[in-house]
Amino acid sequence: MNAANEYIQNFITNYHDYKESWNYEDGCVLMGAICLYEATGDPMYRTFVLEYLNRRVQPDGSIPSFSIKQYSIDNINPGKALFFGRDETGDTRYEKAIQFHMQRLSQHPRCKCGNFWHKEIYPWQVWLDGLYMAQPFYMAYERDYDAYGHVQDITSQFCNVRKYLYNEEKKLYYHGFDESRTQPWCNRETGLSPNFWLRAMGWYLMALVDCIELCDEQLYEHRRALVDLLREAILGLLPYRDPQTGLFYQVIDRSDIESNYIETSGSAMVACSILKGVRLGVLADKYASIGDEMMQSILSNKLRKEDGVWHLCDICRVAGLGPGEKRDGSIAYYLSEEICADDSKGVGPFMMAYAEWLRLKGVKA
């Protein structure tokens, strides 16, 4: 068994829910397991996902651990796995839970521009993270239940992010945008946070490529808009690859800062998005070698064995903006957050990227 397989098997076998509440971190691991099941057919992954869902989702479709005290776009992310539960089991609890998630999303507060607020505690704010949390679920729902009746809403939210968060000179996306321009971390003229955080870009790229996969090809204008955004974002990001590792820094464009570091979760997200884009035929075949190099580098540089056990290292545990005076979006802030190993926000994307890499190689794990 190679290192990646051994690591993932051990991680899945010994996995403990990230939180007691329904949470996006578990959702990342669930989607990683679903991707690996689709790539390998290994029943271990199917069993892991279904056992988790069966434990959380009641027979009537309710999810007692879903916190409804405040609206949080993060809570939509684990709902993506419900489509897998429905298709694999035919159990109506999952369809009911899907409808519940869509109800919550339809009631979610919005900015004046039309985008979902990131959270009720982050009003009038759009973060790149939120695109991944909600839009692929939204697109899957549109595909299965609404005949793409609201696809314009989905593509418009991506286009708004391009309009408000993209830096034309750097060819990168800022982490967040405050429409009200009142947050301490934002530029009072633009509403933008001050820096380019790698994992935020990773969330955005994965949101794009997942929605492209779910969008019917006959919806040409909508799908093409998403494809164009993906291609532009990838082209803008690639020049910032570290020449030695082929991966990316925590603060993408500041390799000159000594305390900056090559971050794993965001690099895995970029690799996953590139490899999946090639598989879907929306990125040119030449990008396959870049995705392959990145995955090889993650396996070589970030998967490390300590005391006989493999660990996925150099993951930023968490980063955000606010609320209030907290987390100011400065370079010093992003570099002050804890660097850890084996966090679900890194392992889930690693599993997704590894699944795409196995498909590229045409091998079963």
Angle between helices 220-237 and 151-165 (to 10 degrees): 30
Where in the sequence is the domain holding 169, given as residue range(s)? 3-18+111-361
**The pLDDT value given to residue 169:** 98
Q: Does 262 map to a domain?
A: yes
Q: Does 249 map to a domain?
A: yes
12 Cβ contact list (under 8 Å, min separation 6):
33, 44, 45, 48
The backbone torsions φ and ψ at residue 311, rounded to the nearest 5 degrees and listed phi first, read -135, 145
Long-range contacts made by residues 10-14, C-beta under 8 angstroms, separation at least 24? Answer: 10/309, 10/310, 11/342, 11/347, 12/44, 12/45, 12/48
* Whole-prediction pTM: 0.98
CATH number at residue 156: 1.50.10.10
Domains contained in the chain, number: 1
Query: CA–CA separation, 265 vs 172, rounded Å?
Result: 18
Q: Which amino acid is at 240?
A: Y
Beta bridge partners of 72: 119
Q: Does 227 map to a domain?
A: yes
Q: Does 54 map to a domain?
A: no
Kindly list the distances between the CA atom of residue 221 and the CA atoms of 6, 99, 115, 155, 217, in Å, as whole numbers in the listed order. 43, 27, 20, 10, 9
38 contacts 358 by C-beta, under 8 angstroms: no
Burial track 32-47 (b if 16+ CB lie within 10 A, e otherwise)? bbbbbbebbebeebbe
Q: Does 281 map to a domain?
A: yes
Q: Does 215 map to a domain?
A: yes
Kindly list the distances between the CA atom of residue 46 and the CA atoms of 39, 52, 176, 347, in Å, as whole numbers in the listed order. 12, 10, 35, 17
Give the number of other CB atoms < 10 A from CB of residue 326: 11
Question: DSSP readout, 106-120?
Answer: HTS-B-TTSPBPSBT
pLDDT (tens place) for every residue of the chain, 365 residues total: 699 999 999 999 999 999 999 999 999 999 999 999 999 999 999 999 999 999 999 999 999 999 999 999 999 999 999 999 999 999 999 999 999 999 999 999 999 999 999 999 999 999 999 999 999 999 999 999 999 999 999 999 999 999 999 999 999 999 999 999 999 999 999 999 999 999 999 999 999 999 999 999 999 999 999 999 999 999 999 999 999 999 999 999 999 999 999 999 999 999 999 999 999 999 999 999 999 999 999 999 999 999 999 999 999 999 999 998 899 999 999 999 999 999 999 999 999 999 999 999 887 65
